[in-house]
Amino acid sequence: MTQTIGIIGSGLVGKAIAHLAVAAGYRVVLSNSRGPESLAQLVEALGPLARAASVEQAIAAGDIVALAIPLATFETLPADTFAGKVVLDQTNYYPGMGDFRRADLDNGDLTSSELVQRHLRGAKVVKGIHNLGWHHMQYNARPKGDSQRTTLPIAGDDAAAKQAVAHFLEAVGYDVVDAGSLADSWRIEPNTPIYFWPYAPAIPEGLTEDEAKKAYLHPGKPISPEAARTLIDKTERPSPIGGTLEGLPPIHVVLFLELASADTVQR
């Protein structure tokens, strides 16, 4: 039976996961804070496997519900409607962006996904496909057996939920390694070895900004499951905790800020 991916958030991350899902034959139900009517153009571009709905409808429809939203908005999620749902948490903690900052995250008392799980108390939260940019979510995806297929990490507390998310990620174009529990998910958060940089191409020196932007729109070198495991195992907890723009590829920051200034980025 064809599964359905409910997506909360229709910014760059939400669009990327939607394109991956429909390309792999999944049904997609998209939602955002502005209502289904704002998604008409996107749904048309995605094709017959996609439809727009309210947030509550996307949650109800999804066999997996992807959170493609800023972490700062997690408390707006209607927690009671997530009971029993597998939740793919794509959020990241960037305390220097905006006014969202929490001592329990800064001190390492909780990981960001533990915070989401605490709010969505009846759900089964799995951290995943959060550690690469929206461009490379699509550009790096490859079918099984392809020599350029790369590997993504996941973390969660429910074995069946992790299996469901791993199956989805494998179907859309990635090998998967298990990074442990939600408490262990700091190993795959911003400013760790498996976050962002391994999935982006190296940009040669001496390029103009426009040339660098074009060069960035290519996949990074593939990471084998064994190499991904090594990156995870050697990780030391970053200090301070949380992502920064300085910790991202410079040309990604240029693209991000261009889009942010146009008010089109939802992270």
Measured between alpha carbons, how far apart are the two ends of the chain, in Å?
31
pLDDT of residue 239: 95
154 touches 165 (CB < 8 A):
yes
Q: What is the mean pLDDT of each run of 10 residues along the chain (267 residues)?
A: 93 96 98 96 98 98 98 97 98 90 97 98 98 94 97 98 98 98 98 96 94 93 97 96 92 83 46
What backbone phi and psi angles, to 5 degrees, belong to 2?
Answer: -65, 130
Those residues with Cβ within 8 angstroms of residue 267's Cβ, 6 or more apart along the chain or in another chain: 11, 12, 13, 69, 70, 92, 94
Whole-prediction pTM: 0.95
| Angle, helix 159-172 to helix 12-23, in steps of 10 degrees | 80
Element at 195 (helix H, strand E): none
pLDDT of residue 184: 98
pLDDT of residue 97: 81
**What distance lies between CA 153 and its chain's CA centroid?**
11
Element at 146 (helix H, strand E): none
Angle at 76 between CA 75 and CA 78, to 5 degrees: 100
pLDDT of residue 264: 44
What backbone phi and psi angles, to 5 degrees, belong to 60?
Answer: -60, -35
Q: Which residues pair with 11 in a beta bridge?
A: none
Q: Could you give all domains of the chain from N- to C-terminal order, each with its CATH number?
A: 4-261 (3.40.50.720)
Q: Which of 1, 14, 25, 11 is nearest to 172 (CA)?
A: 25
pLDDT of residue 244: 92
Separation of alpha carbons 31 and 127, rounded Å? 20
Q: Which of 183, 174, 176, 179 is nearest to 232 (CA)?
A: 179
Q: What is the DSSP letter of 25?
A: T
